[in-house]
Structure 1
Amino acid sequence: MFKIVIREGREMALTEMAVRNAKARENGGNYSLSDGDGLMLLVKKSGAKSWVLRYWLDGKEKRAGLGPYPLIGLADARKLKNAFKHELAMGVNPQEKKRAEREEAARVEAIKAMTFARVAEEWYQQQAGAWSASHCTDVRHKLRVYILPRLGECPVREISTQAVLSLLQAIEQRTPESAYKSKLIVGQVLRFAIARGDAEIDVTMNLKGALKPRRVRHFGALTAPKDVADLMTRIASYNGSPIVRAALWFSLYTFQRPGEIRKAEWKEMDFGATLWRISETRMKNRRAHIVPLARQVIDILKALEPLSGDSRFVFPAITSKSTPMSENTVRVALRSMGYTNEQMTAHGFRTTASTNLNEQGWNSDLIELSLAHVEGNSVRAAYNRAERLPERREMMQAWADWLDGLRGFSSRAEAVPCASEKQESF
């Protein structure tokens, strides 16, 4: 408990007239008139007057402003003095109390200003550099169309479980998959806010099981060897664009992501080292990737050079060599070959390879590396990229040879059209 003293002087109490008539001194200095009991009228050189209470706290002189005159008259100033003294007697320092109230008011205003929309924008700007263009577009769309109209103006610290659940249920009525993705985005924004001290809890953690079970989408893929052999027969018989036909072969032999294949550039192909070097800017996981190229793939590329070698892209669009092949081109080709979306997709080539390579007993780490799946341990990932290329090269060649063996190719010339073949029959 602090010790409070309001020193009573021998000064005579002020009168209303004395207060009203108090003027600035000719010498221009500030002075004060005492009302006794620590209450003083401070007269400044400008002529402005205000009330000040002089008191001692733990042996140290303190002063508290009680307000300006004439807004606060003499009688009101005395009441304020008595109220101040009462709070001191109760163990409350009115000045500290007022300061705490100001700080609390500022804190509340800061909370109101730190809206979900503001935090979401800062989170997006921090994360977007590591995302693909398509993912950036998707996140922006979910925020703009679904999330921000409902949560944008809410202080991020005050986002409630019920508010998020109501949002997600509304989205779920329209597009269940968007509800699931929106929940992920809201959770990531809230965890970003927690890390910065702008929020205390990720309420999406309370929503496990609150939405309808998500229907897991599986990419159609052919995995049985006899079905893979039939796929190769259909590719060989495909009578559409020769560049599309080459893209189908390339997808089967390299089993990289469809987007990485259709945007492949000639400058990425190292014929001397028989490697395809994909920069981190083109990879889904934003990590540079190296693909060993089997002899069959080199033959495909050499056969393609007369057709697309003057383009930046290995597989340019049918309508313009200045742009890459459309994301729907391979899908349409597969449909024309008689496959439904449930049977085979552009992404399905990856499943075809992964399933059969695992069944053939290849090391699962090699398979995952070849699929460019992210390695959680950064040290191990660096080791794998640097040291396992010879093993991966062996596996990729074995995969290509196994595929050729399914159809009984006696030579690569049977599997890959020669450069002199007309485009229509590539």
Structure 2
Amino acid sequence: MPHVATPNTEQKILAIGEYPAIGLADARAKREEAKKQLANGIDPSTAKKAAKAASQDAAANSFEVIAREWHETHMANKTADHAKKTLLNLERDVFPWLGRMPIVNIEAPDVLAAVKRIEQRGANEIASKTRRANGQVFRYAITTGRAVRNPVPDLQGAFVPTTVKHHAAISDPVQIGALLRACEGYTGHFTTHCALRLSFLVMLRPGEVRKAEWSEIDLERAEWRIPAAKMKMREEHISPLSRQALAIFEESKPLTGTGHFVFPSVRSNARPMSETPAPALK
């Protein structure tokens, strides 16, 4: 602990560190640095405290700290699955490189490098989602007074465009009629036949029809209530059931009503129907 006399003040002691954690050479270097500070009218003890405070402030405003705070706030009204995937993408692809950096020091090239690493493994959709999440973190930091700008918009055009693959849809009335007749004339398994007919009456995704559970069906109120988590929504989805849809459920109940799924697998009642297309409709 060298004795350091500051100008026009009483003698003070500056703690450099404990031996052997701080070697002799390091101690001498720090002593010389303290002497230079004194020569410039700077109190080394005060400068050391200020540097420590700045370091702590930078850690408190690091990208990861703010991103986790944003995630906890922003994802409160999202589905658990969506929130989990968003945080996983940040933990895996962003925090290792940007997490410890003070958010005010992060520039567009830093974000670009992080997202490009995701693109390089061919995960363009994850790259796009992660870029959007990064932008939202910066906007949150700005609104909470911990950043002054969002560098993500500067990256416009720097990434591989995400290709959206649309599933083919039948819009020709003649073809729709042919499909309806094919479903009605299907001669395979009974539950598959029922599921095919129901699909045209409830306007739900094929996976939602396949995974229909008897606990979701209220025949008396003519309603199908699908839990929010199952639909990837914030609220449960209520689908009114027409007279024809009710008839299909009533027709299926004697066969599968004592089980969990309305349309169970042919091989096991513990699983829903397979997603493999019915042979007659391939």
TM-score, length basis structure 2: 0.72
Gaps of 5+ in 2: 17-34
Out of 306, 309, 320, the position equivalent to 2:257 is 309
Trace 1:139-218 onto structure 2 (pairs within 5 A).
Answer: 139-173=86-120, 174-218=122-166
Equivalent position of 1:67 in the other structure: 12
Contact 1:316 1:324 in 2 (8 A): yes
TM-fit CA distance, 1:299: 0.9
What is the CA–CA distance in structure 1 between the aligned matches of 2:235 and 2:60, rounded to whole Å? Answer: 37
- The secondary structure found in structure 1 opposite 2:225 is strand
User: Does 2:226 correspond to 1:283?
Assistant: no
What is the CA–CA distance in structure 1 between the aligned matches of 2:136 and 2:264, rounded to whole Å? Answer: 37
User: Does 2:281 correspond to 1:337?
Assistant: yes
Equivalent position of 1:370 in the other structure: none
User: Does 2:56 correspond to 1:112?
Assistant: no
Contact 1:132 1:282 in 2 (8 A): no
- The secondary structure found in structure 2 opposite 1:290 is strand
Q: What amino acid is aligned across from residue 147 of structure 1 in structure 2?
A: V
Q: Percent identity?
A: 31
What is the CA–CA distance in structure 2 between the aligned matches of 1:116 and 1:234, rounded to whole Å? Answer: 56
TM-fit CA distance, 1:110: 2.4
Trace 1:358-377 onto structure 2 (pairs within 5 A).
Answer: none
Equivalent position of 1:266 in the other structure: 214
TM-fit CA distance, 1:298: 0.5
Out of 140, 158, 167, the position equivalent to 1:219 is 167
Distance 1:316 1:98, change over 3 A: farther
- Give a deviation string over 1:328-381, Cα, whole Å, max 9, x none: x1xx2167622xxxxxxxxxxxxxxxxxxxxxxxxxxxxxxxxxxxxxxxxxxx
Gaps of 5+ in 1: 1-48, 55-63, 72-79, 88-93, 339-426
Equivalent position of 2:197 in the other structure: 249
Distance 1:207 1:247, change over 3 A: farther
Contact 1:277 1:291 in 2 (8 A): yes
What is the CA–CA distance in structure 2 between the aligned matches of 1:217 and 1:199, rounded to whole Å? Answer: 37
Alignment RMSD (CA, Å): 3.7
What is the CA–CA distance in structure 2 between the aligned matches of 1:223 and 1:65, rounded to whole Å? Answer: 90
TM-fit CA distance, 1:215: 2.0
What is the CA–CA distance in structure 1 between the aligned matches of 2:230 and 2:208, rounded to whole Å? Answer: 7
Q: What amino acid is aligned across from residue 165 of structure 1 in structure 2?
A: L
TM-fit CA distance, 1:104: 6.0
Equivalent position of 1:76 in the other structure: none
What is the CA–CA distance in structure 1 between the aligned matches of 2:126 and 2:242, rounded to whole Å? Answer: 40
Contact 2:182 2:280 in 1 (8 A): no
Contact 2:70 2:137 in 1 (8 A): yes
In the alignment of these two chains, the number of paired residues is 258
Q: What amino acid is aligned across from residue 104 of structure 2 in structure 1?
A: R
Equivalent position of 2:27 in the other structure: none
What is the CA–CA distance in structure 2 between the aligned matches of 1:279 and 1:65, rounded to whole Å? Answer: 73
User: Does 2:270 correspond to 1:322?
Assistant: yes
Distance 1:264 1:163, change over 3 A: same
TM-score, length basis structure 1: 0.51
TM-fit CA distance, 1:255: 1.1
> Which protein has the bigger strand share?
1
TM-fit CA distance, 1:149: 3.6
- Give a deviation string over 1:242-264, Cα, whole Å, max 9, x none: 33333332222111244543443
Q: What amino acid is aligned across from residue 67 of structure 1 in structure 2?
A: K
User: Does 2:79 correspond to 1:135?
Assistant: no
TM-fit CA distance, 1:308: 2.1
